[in-house]
Amino acid sequence: MDQSQEEFLRELLDDFKVEAAEHIEEIINGLLVLEKDNQSDESKAIIEKVFREIHSLKGASRAVNQSLIEQLCMSFESVFHAIKNDKIKLENEYFEQFYKAGDMLQMLVEGIDQKNTGVSAQQIQQLCRTFESMTSDSLPKTSSLFQQLQSKKEVKPQVDKKPLQESAPEEPQVNPAKELSTTGNKKPLSLQPTEPKASVSESETVRVATSKLYELLRQAEEMVSIKTALHFQIDQLNSIQNNFSTWRRSLLEQNNPNNQFAEDLASQNLFVRQHEEAVSRLRSNLEKLRHSTIRSVEELQLSVKKTLMFSFASLLNVAPKIVRDLSKASDKEVDLIIHGGEIEIDRRILEELKDPLIHLIRNCIDHGFESKQERIKAGKSPKGTLRIDVQYDANQKIELRISDDGAGIDLDKLKASALKNHIISQEELDGMKDSEIQMLIFSSGISTSKMITDVSGRGLGMAIVAEKITKIEGSIKLESKRHEGTTFTISLPQTLTSFRGILVRVANQLFILPTNSVVKALHLKPEMVNTIGSRKTIAYFDENIGLARLSDLLNIPSRSRKATAVNGFQALVVQMAQKKMALVIDEVMGEHEGVVKSLGAQLKKVRHIAGATLLGDGRIVPIVQISQLFESSHSMSGLRLSGGSEQKERETSDSGPKSILIAEDSITVRNMLRNLVEAAGYSVKTAVDGQEAFGFLQAEDFDLVVSDIEMPHMNGFELTSSIRQHAALMHLPVILVTSLDSADDRQRGLEAGANAYIIKSSFEKSNLIETINKLI
């Protein structure tokens, strides 16, 4: 077992201890209530709760291989199961045994990492036997323990402690157990205060709701504004001081010996100088205060952020299962190698990373790796290797690398898809380097997958990956070599820092652009602007990059257009995912550090604006979302084109709802599909098998066919082939829907000419509707 794995197991055990302590606490609390009252309706719910808690503890202990705890829970659980189902009655005498079990569980949990837990396997087995006899009592009434209990019931009024002595006759020799049974006896008073205390000191951790920690972090980050405010105040004092000294100089100039007000002036001069000095002192005090404040605020923020750090292992744990399931489903063999799981990162970043990671893994397996046969043909091992590495890079950033030794990105397919989906024009494509073309996979609407499946091919995923990563102030790069493999490198900050941005003025409004996306500020002359196609560009080092007015992209009226054009103008070069563009602005006002705030509950999502930050004087400045600017700059460059497509949309919407033919032999599924598709606004006709469907298709016009695979008379594959061979129906989109998820069937579907292949279990996720929308 290597070190990281050992560490992982220890972490797991630590988690288990915390969880188990909670379950045991709940069990004991439940028992305490039940002992007082087990007749009322409320007690039913508590019995149920105790049962659930024991059950959960059993499951958790099984997961971490704590067989003794599991064993004890199992028989404990069976007793409560019987009570719950009214198989046995909850007798007061039982409680001693229950408390004993609770105490034993607690000792077992606390002693997990010690050799001697103080509880022997025999004691546990003995208790288990007692529990078994409780449940078996209910059936054969002649059991010895039943009689025992009966007799206990009779003696109970006279001797209150009797049950304890009787039920634990062998214990006295064993010290810990004796102690336990006595604590059990003192129940309500002694149990509760001692228990949690013990478990807290043991693990030296406290469970705090993450929401509270975030609130703490928010408040700590709020203190950044104190930093900025102090800075602002100091600037103000500075200017007052300057005013004083100018005033004093002007006084001195008037001060000639002949002046009858000489004395007056001298006293004024003194007065001004005193105040000037006072201001100066105030300023330097404030400056000192600012320095110490900055230091403590930064320390505070760092400590709070550290409490929110988690190891990557908690995220990467999901990978093996996903890799296994997906590679099985696509009939590929993939070895997964993970390194660096112990590196810690802000929990919020981990949360945001989950979807991108899963998507990238899916992408690798679905598109990255070739089929076994292809791999053998290419002289590679039939088994692919997927590596996930986490490491620190040179800039103290964290690098998450996901690499496969698959086929690499097929540039030709990518170009074709980009052109087909109007993401880019041929002339733009011609001017791009291969590395830039590869970045196109992050544009929305791109897919090189021939077929849409439930995992991939809808061309949205990579765009979402890029967006999510930008959101957490990370960046993503891609290197791919045809036939050798693809590597995605995600660079991440260790914590979500407060926001740094470049403050700019555009049309008399202030905006702020994230510093990490701004590459350079330029002063441009009109003659430096070229026009390529319909786009304005400038030469930037060895590339041509697009040029746009920030005010145009944001759609705010700008009056300074003409003036700037003559005298030259300022522009910022911004970059996202290896794409660059230049934004024309009126003026750069400086750099600002602050906290990102939302625009308020009402403005949930505003195009181009990611949020806002506050200046030292309380002014609000909107933060520009660079990724959306890139999107808008594309749509603006092809203004005519987008106008045309709008018109097209209107035309189609006028012609009424699109009609869809559903072929499915099961009446349940047929109706379900009909409801689903109709609800999405399509008109639906259904057929009971392929033959009937094909008949309808020849008689009426449809926009798309959804077909089951297994049907009598003519199955889905045959129906698809027939459609493809029919001159008038050749281009009709066909979606195959099936309960079979096999690579073979998918291949057959593709060969028959289907456009998409969807697995039935995934209907509800509106997978189908999305696919239909995409295809027509």
Partner 1 sequence: MKQEEQKILHERAKLLSVSASSNEKPDDQIAIVGFTLHPEKYAFEVVNVSEVLTMNELTPIPGTPAFIMGVVNLRGHIISVVNLKSFLGLTEGGLTQLNKIIVISDGKMIFGVLADEITGFSNFPSDKLLEPPVNLNGLLAEFVKGTLSDGTILLNASRMLTSKHLIIQD
Q: Which is nearer to partner 1, 209 or 601 (CB)?
A: 601
Q: Applying CB under 8 A, what is the total number of residues that bind partner 1?
A: 26
For residue 392, the cross-strand partners are: 398
Taking the complex as a whole, the smallest distance from the CB of residue 511 to partner 1 amounts, in Å, to: 9
Which one of residues 621, 626, 629, 737 is an interface residue with partner 1 (CB under 8 A)?
Answer: 621
Taking the complex as a whole, the smallest distance from the CB of residue 405 to partner 1 amounts, in Å, to: 42
Q: Are 353 and 400 in contact (CB under 8 A)?
A: yes
Which one of residues 513, 576, 612, 676 is an interface residue with partner 1 (CB under 8 A)?
Answer: 612
Q: Which is nearer to partner 1, 119 or 512 (CB)?
A: 512
Q: Which is nearer to partner 1, 132 or 552 (CB)?
A: 552
Taking the complex as a whole, the smallest distance from the CB of residue 592 to partner 1 amounts, in Å, to: 14
Q: Are 706 and 771 in contact (CB under 8 A)?
A: no
Taking the complex as a whole, the smallest distance from the CB of residue 113 to partner 1 amounts, in Å, to: 40
Q: Which is nearer to partner 1, 417 or 613 (CB)?
A: 613
For residue 547, the cross-strand partners are: 582
Taking the complex as a whole, the smallest distance from the CB of residue 642 to partner 1 amounts, in Å, to: 17
592 binds partner 1 (CB under 8 A): no
Strands (E), 484-598: 485-492, 499-506, 509-514, 518-524, 529-532, 535-540, 543-549, 569-576, 579-585, 587-594
Residues 6 or more apart in contact with residue 480 via CB below 8 angstroms: 408, 409, 438, 486, 487
Q: Which is nearer to partner 1, 219 or 647 (CB)?
A: 219
**Which residues in 193-252 contact partner 1 (CB under 8 A)?**
222, 225
Q: Which is nearer to partner 1, 612 or 663 (CB)?
A: 612
Taking the complex as a whole, the smallest distance from the CB of residue 48 to partner 1 amounts, in Å, to: 22
Q: Which two tokens stand for residue 635?
A: 């749509």
559 binds partner 1 (CB under 8 A): no
Residues 6 or more apart in contact with residue 42 via CB below 8 angstroms: none
Cα(474)–Cα(516) distance, rounded to whole angstroms?
A: 9
Helix (H, G, I), strand (E, B) or coil at 522: strand
Residues 6 or more apart in contact with residue 263 via CB below 8 angstroms: none
Which one of residues 114, 173, 602, 655 is an interface residue with partner 1 (CB under 8 A)?
Answer: 602
648 binds partner 1 (CB under 8 A): no
Stretch that binds partner 1, among 198-206, 234-242, 609-617, 694-702 (CB under 8 A): 609-617
Cα(343)–Cα(392) distance, rounded to whole angstroms?
A: 8
Q: Which is nearer to partner 1, 111 or 611 (CB)?
A: 611
Q: Which is nearer to partner 1, 534 or 555 (CB)?
A: 555
Taking the complex as a whole, the smallest distance from the CB of residue 360 to partner 1 amounts, in Å, to: 28
599 binds partner 1 (CB under 8 A): yes
Which one of residues 482, 607, 648, 726 is an interface residue with partner 1 (CB under 8 A)?
Answer: 607
Quickly count: other Cβ atoms within 10 Å of residue 210's Cβ: 14
**Which residues in 503-522 contact partner 1 (CB under 8 A)?**
509
Residues 6 or more apart in contact with residue 277 via CB below 8 angstroms: none
618 binds partner 1 (CB under 8 A): yes
Which one of residues 85, 175, 254, 598 is an interface residue with partner 1 (CB under 8 A)?
Answer: 598
174 binds partner 1 (CB under 8 A): no
Stretch that binds partner 1, among 61-69, 334-342, 596-604, 734-742 (CB under 8 A): 596-604
358 binds partner 1 (CB under 8 A): no
Which one of residues 156, 433, 520, 619 is an interface residue with partner 1 (CB under 8 A)?
Answer: 619
Q: Nearest Cα to 545, choosing from 631, 431, 636, 418?
A: 431
620 binds partner 1 (CB under 8 A): yes
Taking the complex as a whole, the smallest distance from the CB of residue 339 to partner 1 amounts, in Å, to: 41
Stretch that binds partner 1, among 199-207, 532-540, 550-558, 753-761 (CB under 8 A): 550-558
Q: Which is nearer to partner 1, 603 or 740 (CB)?
A: 603
Q: Which is nearer to partner 1, 481 or 619 (CB)?
A: 619
Q: Which is nearer to partner 1, 142 or 602 (CB)?
A: 602
CA angle in degrees (0–180, nearest 5) for 689-693-696: 145
Q: Output the DSSP codes for 374-428.
A: HHHHTTS-SEEEEEEEEEE-TTS-EEEEEEE-S----HHHHHHHHHHTTSS-HHH
Which one of residues 149, 439, 554, 574 is an interface residue with partner 1 (CB under 8 A)?
Answer: 554
Taking the complex as a whole, the smallest distance from the CB of residue 484 to partner 1 amounts, in Å, to: 42
Residues 6 or more apart in contact with residue 254 via CB below 8 angstroms: 265
Cα(755)–Cα(707) distance, rounded to whole angstroms?
A: 11
Q: Are 239 and 330 in contact (CB under 8 A)?
A: no
Taking the complex as a whole, the smallest distance from the CB of residue 773 to partner 1 amounts, in Å, to: 19
Taking the complex as a whole, the smallest distance from the CB of residue 46 to partner 1 amounts, in Å, to: 16
For residue 621, the cross-strand partners are: 613
605 binds partner 1 (CB under 8 A): yes
Per-residue contact flags (x/-) with partner 1 for residues 529 to 548, judged by CB under 8 A: --------------------
18 binds partner 1 (CB under 8 A): no
Q: Nearest Cα to 167, choosing from 183, 149, 182, 185?
A: 149
Which phi and psi angles does 272 have, rounded to 5°? -65, -40
Helix (H, G, I), strand (E, B) or coil at 161: coil
Q: CA–CA distance from 472 to each of 490, 573, 647, 661 (Å)?
A: 11, 21, 38, 44
Which one of residues 608, 658, 670, 760 is an interface residue with partner 1 (CB under 8 A)?
Answer: 608
601 binds partner 1 (CB under 8 A): yes
Q: Say which DSSP state 498 is in.
A: P
For residue 734, the cross-strand partners are: 705
Helix (H, G, I), strand (E, B) or coil at 747: helix
Residue 202: alpha-carbon gap to chain centroid: 32
Taking the complex as a whole, the smallest distance from the CB of residue 589 to partner 1 amounts, in Å, to: 15
Taking the complex as a whole, the smallest distance from the CB of residue 611 to partner 1 amounts, in Å, to: 8
Q: CA–CA distance from 341 to each of 5, 307, 355 (Å)?
A: 9, 18, 17
CA angle in degrees (0–180, nearest 5) for 189-190-195: 120
Q: Are 440 and 428 in contact (CB under 8 A)?
A: no
Taking the complex as a whole, the smallest distance from the CB of residue 437 to partner 1 amounts, in Å, to: 31
Taking the complex as a whole, the smallest distance from the CB of residue 646 to partner 1 amounts, in Å, to: 16
**Ramachandran category for residue 408: left, alpha or beta (phi over 0 → left; psi -120 to 50 → alpha):** left
Stretch that binds partner 1, among 153-161, 436-444, 617-625, 739-747 (CB under 8 A): 617-625
Taken as a whole, the chain contains a residue count of 776
Stretch that binds partner 1, among 123-131, 291-299, 477-485, 614-622 (CB under 8 A): 614-622
Q: Are 390 and 400 in contact (CB under 8 A)?
A: yes
Q: Nearest Cα to 166, choosing from 183, 144, 135?
A: 144
Which one of residues 84, 290, 372, 597 is an interface residue with partner 1 (CB under 8 A)?
Answer: 597
Cα(7)–Cα(661) distance, rounded to whole angstroms?
A: 56
Q: Which is nearer to partner 1, 256 or 602 (CB)?
A: 602
Stretch that binds partner 1, among 327-335, 341-349, 490-498, 603-611 (CB under 8 A): 603-611
Taking the complex as a whole, the smallest distance from the CB of residue 602 to partner 1 amounts, in Å, to: 4
Q: Which is nearer to partner 1, 200 or 639 (CB)?
A: 639
Cα(694)–Cα(685) distance, rounded to whole angstroms?
A: 12
606 binds partner 1 (CB under 8 A): yes
Residue 750: alpha-carbon gap to chain centroid: 33
Report the interface residues with partner 1, using CB under 8 A: 222, 225, 509, 554-556, 597-609, 612, 614, 618-622
